Amino acid sequence: MQAQVDLAAVHQADHTTPPRVAIIVGSTRPGRKADTVALWVLDIAVRRDDATFEVVDIADHALPHLNEPIPARQGQYTHAHTRNWAEKIGSFDSYVFVTPEYNGSISGALKNAIDFLYAEWNDKVAGFIGYGIQGGVRAVEHLRLILSDLNVTDVHHTIALTLAEDFEDYTRFTPSDPQEKNLTIMLDELVTQTLALRGARSTKPKSTS
């Protein structure tokens, strides 16, 4: 049975409330560091009063390799796991992606999670935190390109965590002194752009397809 996701029902924008921001854990690999980094982001972010924040771990949603028969642009989701994922992602105004760099790009699990949906990502804002030998910069650049096809606006300021400077013995996350300030700058930009785009989303004409 196919189901058409009603985005208006999924996300009713109330402009009197702070925007909702998902901190997305972009890896499912055993031994990953993305979950620890995401909790660091959350710990700093919840001190703010201009947005609310929630960690969204793609591992918790157990998405199989993309198995929807209809392209995501149609918004007709066959499987319960897709509808649940659509409801979760559609409930946020913006996203902070925490991504490792694997062979010059993002993880396959994150790409798969993104590809399940389309309209739920549209007209939202994304910030990026990459980590790896070189700070995950190539993964972030690929992620920017992917999200641009989904009409996601990306913030300019990016956090690049290097294994040498931000992880003790290349394993335990110990962010260097400038990183909290860098994160605050990125979140400031994210919230500002989110508030600007939230109003535009609410007046966007509904698709008749």
pLDDT for residue 12: 46
* Residue pLDDT, tens place only, 38-69: 999 999 999 999 999 999 999 999 999 999 99
Averaged pLDDT in 10-residue chunks for the chain of 209 residues: 47 71 97 97 97 98 97 97 98 98 97 98 97 97 98 97 96 96 98 89 55
Strand partners, 154: 126
pLDDT for residue 78: 97
pLDDT for residue 198: 84
Q: What is the pTM of this model?
A: 0.90
pLDDT for residue 6: 52
pLDDT for residue 208: 42
Domain boundaries 3-202, corresponding CATH code: 3.40.50.360
pLDDT for residue 134: 95
* Residue pLDDT, tens place only, 140-165: 999 999 999 999 999 999 999 999 99
